Amino acid sequence: MNVFMLVSILAAGWVADKLGRRRTLVLANAFLMAGALAMSLGDSFAALMAARFITSVGAGFARVVGPVYNAEISPASTRGVLSSMLDMFINVGILLSYVSNYAFSGLPVHLGWRVMFGLGVIPPVFIAAGVLFILPESPRWLVMRGLHGDARAVLLRTSDAPAEADLRLGEMKRAVADAEPPHTAARHGGGASVWKQLLVRPSTSVRRILTCVLGLQFFVMASGVEAILLYSPRVFKAVGMASNSAILGATVAIGAVKTCFVLLGMLFTDRLGRRPLLLASTAGVAVTTAALAVTLYIGTSTTSSSTATAAACLALVLAVVATFSVGYGSVGSALYTAEVLPQRLRAQGSSIAMAVNKLTAALVSMTFISLADVITMPGCFFLYAAVTAAAFVFVYTRLPETKGRSLEDMELLFDK
């Protein structure tokens, strides 16, 4: 799915600039609904893969445009918590998928997975309806289109006072006016001019922003959490956990811990700032992943299984997921990227960043089993711990604090 998503991820920025954030989110949910229905009715492996591709198109659109919309609609004072809600609810979805997997495991094999996939049709219907009938368009996209009156109407709904709305509108108009060339690149959906400003001839501040954004997205996935989320049953079996119900219960615990700690990080994003959470997360993941590697080495090097080793392995897996979620999960994967990219480059820059995220996730998920055969499972986690230690250095030396700053101030921050 990570590979399939690249198609829509790379197109999402252009589509969001052309159609608007709301319409792109509706389109995403149409693909998600169709894909879930097709998966539940699939009658062959090829049909399932085709349906998975349809689902991935919707997921790619949503994963890029959701953070952009959240960042653009939110006031600076609460942007951290509001933007982090996306990742929190993604983790709620992961938790629900673990719970449904556990709940339907008792059904006949030919039926259980169809019911589980079929339930995925329901959420996109409600989300699309909510987007159409409740959510306003992004005020920043409206300003890019020259629809200042519509933008002000949205800002009046999302500001504490009319004066604040007018101030935010003035900042957005100045940001668009400062774009090169004025209005035209953004107004016509980006295109070659945006890619030129991003990749061919970026300014000093844009180059620094891209370095931070792409580096962060790489390290988020290279930390190895994708391997834990996908292959935790193999990890638990390696240390002697034999009961399928115990293993499925452990995966539910992983989903619950991940959701709770994303929520915890979300609550502190605007209080403590982005850097403290990211530094705590990278340090915590590096230490707990190294400890997990040591435990796996002990557990796999002995001939007899140990309940204590299995319990320690489960505790450390939960610790890795918790430390990952409190920083990477609440800040790294969506919030920081969406808020530091300049307005005219935000949608398509987010596409590039998410492409790096998913390519790295695909690399980790599709090589874990083969890599474990070569350097052993403990060796894999020692490698992930080393990569995360490098991430700590990257965050410490490269990423500035963005708490409380308006989106229009970000380029000035990276000019310094």
Q: Is the peptide bond between 123 and the residue preceding it cis, with omega within 30 degrees of 0?
A: no
Query: Containing domain of residue 321, as a range?
Result: 196-415
Domain-located, residue 386: yes
251 and 165 together in one domain: no
Q: Are residues 298 and 241 in the same domain?
A: yes
| Residue-averaged pLDDT of the chain | 84
Which amino acid, 281? S
Query: Are 160 and 63 part of one and the same domain?
Result: no
186 assigned to some structural domain: no
pLDDT over 70 (residue 189): no
Answer yes or no: do 206 and 332 share one domain: yes
Instruction: Check whether residue 229 and residue 341 sit in a common domain.
Output: yes
Q: Does 187 map to a domain?
A: no
74: Cβ contacts below 8 Å, ≥ 6 apart: 82, 83, 158
Residues 174 and 221 in one domain: no
Whether residue 64 contacts residue 354, with contact meaning beta carbons closer than 8 Å, is answered with yes
Residues 202 and 258 in one domain: yes
Assigned domain for 190 exists: no
pLDDT at 86 over 70: yes
Helix axes 274-301, 377-398, angle to 10 degrees: 170
Structure-block tokens of residue 126: 């409600």
Q: What CATH number did the domain enclosing 391 receive?
A: 1.20.1250.20
376-384 average pLDDT score: 93
Return the pLDDT at 73. Answer: 84
Res 78: pLDDT? 78
Question: Could you report the per-residue pLDDT of 107-135, keeping only the tens digit for each?
Answer: 888 888 888 888 889 989 888 888 888 88
Task: Tell whether 204 and 168 lie within a shared domain.
Answer: no
The amino acid at 408: E
User: Is pLDDT of 185 > 80?
Assistant: no
Say whether both 242 and 353 belong to one domain: yes
Return the residue matching tokens 């539910």: 252
Q: In this predicted structure, what is the pLDDT of residue 38?
A: 94
Of 157, 181, 205, which residue is a domain's last?
181
129 and 172 within one domain: no
How many whole angstroms separate alpha carbon 104 and alpha carbon 81?
Answer: 34
pLDDT score, position 188 = 44
Q: Flag whether pLDDT at 98 surpasses 80.
A: no
DSSP symbol at 243 = -
Q: Which of 154, 181, 208 is the last residue of a domain?
A: 181
What's the domain count of the chain? 3
- Dihedral sign (CA 309, 315, 316, 318): positive
Closest CA to 332 of 285, 287, 379: 285
Indicate the residue type of 317: V
* One domain, residues 311 and 343: yes
47 within some domain = yes
pLDDT at 181 over 60: no
Instruction: Give the pLDDT band of residue 186 (cuts 50, 70, 90).
Output: very low
Preceding amide of 276 cis, omega within 30: no
pTM given for the model: 0.75
Pick the more confident residue, 198 or 289: 289
> Exposed/middle/buried for 101, CB within 10 Å: 0-12, 13-18, 19+?
middle
pLDDT at 47: 93
Q: Give the per-residue pLDDT at 183.
A: 43
Would you say residue 191 has pLDDT above 60?
Answer: no
Residues 200 and 314 in one domain: yes
Category of 294 on φ-ψ map: left (φ > 0), alpha (ψ -120 to 50) or beta: alpha
